[in-house]
């Protein structure tokens, strides 16, 4: 496999300067939006075939979010792309300084299988808005969706501008041997490391959107019933296969029983007594992940769910209690519909349990006490956080979305995505009618004089 020609073809097109024109970028974003509408039914059917995602969930969590990203980019593009004036030091006066945001060139976007449309195409919206060409590599684990996206892209864009390469790890590795100008990867921490190592060969800038175990702290003063409802919503959508899904809950002992009862009640309300019959409940992506998840059922007391059917890759929404912190379910990212609930007495204990763990992509705290909230935010680290909610910080275009440490680097959505796909080029333009001799050799003042002068001439 050799993608040298693909990259060369895109770089040649990029170098014509065509993608830099804001009008070009707008028209391509508009084309993407129209294509998403035209291909809506095939994309939703593919999501249903790959992950048993209902059309409601498919639209709410994938296509709807993409359309919002596109609308936002179209509305703000001129502002984002405008040069930003910056101060220049006195010793070059008269001069003007500014930062102009420029496209990197040819971007490689590698996507995962869990939100296979949104997580491949939202970075594409940022890449197009910023004026880049792009090669997309959808996940091979959502094959119908990869096929539907390929059809959409081939019909909508010239290959020299946006193209798709399909396949598994071997294709991704072959792509990574080429010299891209930007790599945008969403997936596991393990593969993220390999992507960064490959990028280092060409010193290509990377954005890494990775995974991790997102903890939830539920304090005794929280609105417990509401907390449970919000957690059930975020945990069991897409059968728990969401990078920002609550991974496990630490609940304060006084409210544990009420909280667990509210979790059960909400699972029943959302998915019925037999979730396998619910049209709103997804399936596990494949047998390997299914078997991994079923093994976790041994790691605690099943207080709700636990039913499974390998033929259908069905695993019921499951709540575990009496889970030991050192058990496997508490070591690895669960990425499935199993929610371990552990208890704590004092906030100190909860925070101590989080200390020393890899930095998660998100952290959630349920409390009505601002001091408690502030303490948790101050004493923990995570890519993003929600207070009294889960998942919602990554919805929409206002808040940058990204990880930290093991959960990734860089951020996107809205303006942050545009910035992630742009180089900040600093430019200083000097006038020619004045040329102070001050800096030229031989020195015209003493060292002490230079020190005094620089304080004035460099400012600040
Ligand atoms: P993955 O890392 O297995 O695969 C992601 C992509 O990398 C796929 O396109 C795959 O083909 C490719 N790939 C696989 N092996 C590779 C290799 N050796 N070299 C280069 N590329 C390779 O991830 P996944 O299983 O598709 O997704 C699940 C993981 O992604 C979870 O850890 C989840 O938390 C994380 N995730 C993170 C976000 C986020 O926004 N931060 C979103 C969704 C998923």
Structure-token pair, residue 212: 């991790």
Percentage of the residues of the chain whose pLDDT score is greater than 70: 100
Rounded Cα distance between 111 and 70, Å, is 18
Q: Verify that 256 and 169 share a domain, yes or no.
A: no
Contact 383 CB / ligand 1 (< 6 Å) = no
Under 8 Å between Cβ of 439 and 415: no
- Indicate whether 30 belongs to any domain: yes
Q: Which two tokens stand for residue 315?
A: 């695993």
Of all helices (H) and strands (E), which one includes residue 429? strand 422-430
Tokens of 48: 């249903």
Strand partners, 254: none
437 touches 101 (CB < 8 A): no
**Which atom of ligand 1 lies at the shortest distance from residue 111's CA?**
9
Beta bridge partners of 344: 252
Nearest to 210 by CA among 407, 398, 455, 384: 407
Residues carrying an active site annotation: 209, 243
Give yes or no: residues 253 and 148 share one domain.
Answer: no
Residue written as tokens 């993220």? 192
CATH of the domain at 417: 3.40.605.10
Q: Please provide residue 15's backbone torsions phi and psi, each rounded to the nearest 5 degrees.
A: -70, -15
User: How many folded domains does the chain comprise?
Assistant: 2
pLDDT digits (tens, 9 = 90+) for 9-38: 999 999 999 999 999 999 999 999 999 999
Q: Could you tell which of 188, 284, 285 is best to mutate to test the pocket of ligand 1, judged by most ligand atoms within 8 Å of the CB?
A: 188
User: Same structural domain for residues 260 and 185?
Assistant: no
Which of 115, 187, 400 is the pocket-test mutation for ligand 1 (most atoms within 8 Å of CB)? 187
- Is 177 in the same domain as 226? no
Co-location of 195 and 299 in the same domain: no
110 lines ligand 1 (CB under 6 A): yes
pLDDT reported for residue 457: 77
Residues 172 and 275 in one domain: no
Same domain, 178 and 226: no
Please tell me whether residues 248 and 127 are part of one structural domain. Answer: no
The DSSP 8-state label assigned to residue 20 in this structure reads G
pLDDT, tens digit (0-9, with 9 covering 90-100), for 356-394: 899 999 999 999 999 999 999 999 999 999 999 999 999
Distance, in Å, from the CA atom of 350 to the CA atom of 454, rounded to the nearest integer, reads: 52
- Give the model's pLDDT for residue 436: 83
Nearest atom of ligand 1 to the alpha carbon of 187: 30
Distance, CA 384 to ligand 1 centroid (Å)? Answer: 19
Q: 191 C-alpha to center of ligand 1: Å?
A: 6
In a domain, 257, yes or no: yes
Protein residue whose Cα sits closest to atom 13 of ligand 1: 169
Q: What backbone phi and psi angles, to 5 degrees, belong to 111?
A: -115, 160
Pocket flag, ligand 1, residue 120 (CB < 6 Å): no
Say if 434 falls within a structural domain.
Answer: no
Reported pTM: 0.96
Per-residue pLDDT tens over the stretch 409-434? 999 999 999 999 999 999 999 999 99
Ligand 1 atom with the smallest distance to the CA of 194 is 19
pLDDT profile of the chain (460 residues), mean per 10: 93 98 98 98 98 96 97 98 94 94 98 98 98 98 98 98 98 98 97 98 98 97 98 98 98 98 98 96 96 97 97 98 96 97 97 95 98 97 98 95 98 98 98 89 91 80
User: How far is Cα 116 from Cα 139, in angstroms, rounded to an integer?
Assistant: 7
Distance 112 CA to ligand 1 centre (A): 5
Structural domain boundaries enclosing 58: 4-210+410-423
Tokens of 374: 């502030």
Question: Are the CB atoms for 304 and 331 separated by under 8 Å?
Answer: no
pLDDT score for 91? 83
């Amino acid at each position: 496999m050799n993608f040298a020609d693909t990259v060369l073809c895109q770089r040649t097109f990029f170098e014509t300067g065509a993608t830099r024109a804001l009008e070009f970028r707008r028209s391509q974003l508009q084309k993407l939006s129209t294509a998403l509408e035209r291909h809506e039914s095939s994309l939703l059917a593919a999501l249903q075939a790959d992950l048993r995602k209902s059309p409601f969930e498919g639209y709410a969590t994938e296509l709807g979010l993409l359309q919002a990203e596109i609308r936002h980019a179209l509305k703000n593009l001129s502002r984002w792309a405008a040069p930003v004036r910056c101060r220049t030091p006195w010793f070059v006066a008269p001069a003007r300084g500014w930062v102009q945001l420029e496209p990197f060139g040819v971007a490689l976007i590698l996507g995962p299988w869990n939100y296979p449309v949104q997580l491949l195409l939202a970075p594409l919206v940022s890449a197009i808005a910023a004026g880049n060409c792009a090669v997309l590599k959808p996940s091979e684990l959502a094959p119908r969706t990869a096929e539907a996206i390929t059809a959409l892209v081939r019909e909508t864009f010239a290959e020299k501008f946006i193209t798709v390469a399909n396949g598994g790890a071997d294709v991704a590795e072959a792509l990574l041997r080429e010299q891209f100008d930007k790599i945008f990867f969403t997936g596991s921490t393990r593969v993220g490391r390999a992507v960064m190592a490959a990028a280092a060969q060409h010193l290509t800038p990377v954005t890494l959107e990775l995974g991790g175990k997102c903890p939830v702290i539920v304090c005794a003063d929280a609105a417990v019933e509401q907390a449970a409802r919000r957690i059930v919503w975020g945990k069991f959508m897409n059968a728990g296969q969401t990078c920002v899904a609550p991974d496990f809950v630490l609940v304060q002992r006084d409210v544990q029983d009420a909280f667990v009862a509210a979790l059960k009640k909400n699972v029943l309300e959302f998915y019925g007594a037999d979730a396998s019959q619910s049209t709103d409940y997804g399936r596990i992506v494949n047998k390997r992940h299914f078997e991994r998840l079923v093994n976790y059922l041994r790691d605690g007391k099943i207080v709700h769910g636990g039913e499974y059917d390998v033929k259908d890759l069905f695993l019921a929404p499951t709540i575990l209690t009496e889970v030991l912190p050192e058990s496997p379910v508490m070591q690895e990212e669960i990425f499935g519909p199993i929610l371990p609930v552990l208890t704590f007495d004092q906030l100190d204990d909860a925070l101590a349990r989080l200390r020393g763990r890899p930095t998660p992509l998100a952290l959630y705290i349920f409390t009505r006490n601002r001091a408690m909230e502030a303490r948790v935010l101050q004493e923990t680290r995570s890519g993003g956080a929600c207070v009294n909610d889960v998942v919602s910080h990554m919805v929409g275009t206002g808040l940058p979305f990204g990880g930290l440490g093991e959960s990734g680097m860089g951020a996107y959505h809205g303006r942050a995505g545009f910035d992630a796909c742009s180089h900040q080029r600093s430019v200083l333009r000097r006038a020619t009618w004045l040329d102070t001799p001050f800096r030229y050799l031989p020195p015209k003042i003493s060292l002490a004089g230079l020190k005094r002068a620089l304080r004035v001439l460099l400012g600040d």
